Chains A and B, each alone.
Chain A
Amino acid sequence: MKLDTQRIMLNVLLALVPGVSALAYFFGAGIIVNIVVAGVTAVTTEALILRARNRSLNTLRDGSALLTAVLLALALPPLLPLWMLVAGTAFAIIFGKQLYGGLGHNPFNPAMVGYAALIISFPLAMSSWPALGEPIAFWDILITKAMPNSGIDAVSGATALDVLKFRGALTIDETWTADQGFGHMAGVGWEWINAGFLIGGIYLLATRTITAMAPFGMLIALTVCAVLFYDSGSSQSLGSPLFHLFSGATMVGAFFIVTDPVSSPDSAMGLWIFGLGVGMITFLIRAIGAYPDGLAFAVLLMNALVPLIDHLRLRRT
């Protein structure tokens, strides 16, 4: 059992490589710094809690803390101040996982707990992504992250989801030409990042590390919602289906977040409901919510419904 968990986690980490490489290619080494710092924080936090509970440190080897840290870190802006990164990761591990008794008992996805806590506490820092194609020297990244007010100005650009949301009365085509941040399908870079995670997801499906119900449910719901509200690009349009599929956290969410076996239902029917719910709420928050991307909140809300979904299924049979 332990070995199995470890192998699954390693497989998932391996599948993250294409997406993370794309992120690092477009946004620079800050992403890698985030992942390393979050990883160290997560493992240290988990070890401290296990120590305080007089438990064996062996459970650390299952790699789940590391995976939580990586999933959280790759959703964070590369120049996020270090102390926020550390606080968010520690919050995810402590409140999202360890207080419930560790892996297997957590009702919510710990990485999403950390993300939601961070975006509510530090909305500005959490939505400052650096502009594409303007590489920042490695030392400057470290200095900016350690001392946020040190005076090094990172040029910040809005992500494609932000631009779409706050474009005023422009039509989709006008937005596309007015803003350099758009590529073929979605935001420049973001489409490649999502493609990278999609490749990883296909690898996970092929190796049967994950099942297809929840990811497909989520992608189908997102596509259907986007089709229903896409009026071929007027100023009221909410973005094309392709745009939504290849923007923000769509692919990493579909194949790496909603597939978490602990915080998702344990029946096929339940997994479909779970995935469809995540897709719909994600679209809803992107369309009319206050936050640019809704994946984290969608996952947390559906996580909360998981015990109810399982309960109702058991009761019927």
Chain B
Amino acid sequence: MSDALVILLGTIFVNNFVMVQFLGLCPFMGASQKFDSAVGMAAATTFVLTLACAVSYLLEHYLLQPLGLEYLRIITFIVLIAALVQFAEMVIRATQPLLYQVLGLFIPLITTNCAVLGVALLNVRHNHSLFESIIYGFGAALGFSMVLITFAAMRERQTAADIPGPFRGAAINMISAGLLSLAFMGFTGMNG
């Protein structure tokens, strides 16, 4: 159980997928404009990412490896993630119409969130068991959610700031993201 905790905390803080490994930057920048859509995006990504890790483990170990089809891993995982995103979209549309309206375009974008594919592939590389894979995916998703929501709150505050003209918009967000990443470097070396 303590192993699970190490993986969980490690993926949330020490190896945060956005701030330390620089994966999933597109939704991090794209969905952090409004606080509420950031929360929705975080929840949807957590759902997809955790599920993707479980199913990709099963596909890898019960389909690809027995048949010697490891070279099809990337394409299989992409298709799997796309299917899961479709599934998530249907769930959200049926249960949370309001959230669906807010998120709209962003849900299909989870497919192209490289963190999702990245985590699934890293699970294979690290030889994680099914349980470890799920924890790894869940931790990655929590780390992504935390950073996304924090960043959205930061951006909302900056709408009132007197930012120099050339730095408004994307430029200052890049700088904020860089400084946040700088702060995360404080966790360096904590791999338990």
Contact = CB atoms under 8 A, between A and B. Distances in A.
Interface of A: 49, 53, 95-96, 98-102, 105, 107-108, 113, 116-117, 120, 281, 284-285, 288-291, 294, 296-298, 300-301, 303-305, 307-308, 310-311
Contacts of B186: 116, 281, 285, 289, 291, 294, 296-298, 300-301
A100 B158 contact: yes
Given A116-B183, A117-B182, A308-B150, A95 B175 contact: yes
B167 interface: yes
B179 A307 contact: no
A101 B154 CA distance: 14
B153 A311 contact: yes
Interface in B137-173: 149-151, 153-154, 156-158, 160-164, 167, 172
Contact size range, B? 20 to 34
B189 interface: yes
Contacts of A284: 190
B187 interface: yes
A233 to B, nearest CB: 23
Contacts of A95: 175, 179
A99 B167 contact: yes
Contacts of A107: 154, 157-158, 176, 179
B182 A100 contact: no
Nearest to A102: B162
Contacts of B188: 289-291
17 contacts: A99-B164, A100-B158, A105-B158, A105-B160, A107-B179, A108-B179, A113-B182, A281-B186, A288-B189, A289-B187, A290-B190, A296-B186, A297-B185, A297-B187, A300-B179, A304-B150, A310-B157
Contact of A288 (B158, B179, B190): B190
Interface in B115-151: 149-151
Contacts of B172: 99-100
A170 to B, nearest CB: 21
A75 to B, nearest CB: 15
Q: Is the interface of B mostly helix, strand, loop or mixed?
A: helix
B106 interface: no
Nearest to B149: A308
A29 B190 CA distance: 36
Contacts of B47: none
Contacts of A294: 186
Contacts of B179: 95-96, 107-108, 113, 300
Q: Which among B154, B156, B160 has the greatest number of chain A C-beta atoms within 10 A? A: B154
Q: Which among A49, A291, A304 has the greatest number of chain B C-beta atoms within 10 A? A: A304
B156 A304 contact: no
B163 A105 contact: yes
Contact of B164 (A101, A113, A116): A101
B163 A304 contact: no
A105 B150 contact: no
A305 B150 contact: yes
Q: Which among B176, B179, B185, B187 has the greatest number of chain A C-beta atoms within 10 A? A: B179
Contacts of A304: 150-151, 154, 180, 183
A96 to B, nearest CB: 8
A308 B145 CA distance: 13
A311 B156 contact: yes
Given A107-B158, A289-B189, 17 more contacts: A53-B164, A95-B175, A95-B179, A96-B179, A100-B161, A101-B161, A107-B176, A113-B182, A285-B187, A288-B190, A289-B186, A289-B190, A291-B189, A300-B182, A301-B184, A307-B150, A307-B157
Given A305-B150, A308-B149, A99 B163 contact: yes
Nearest to A112: B183
A305 B154 CA distance: 8
Contact of B189 (A120, A290, A305): A290
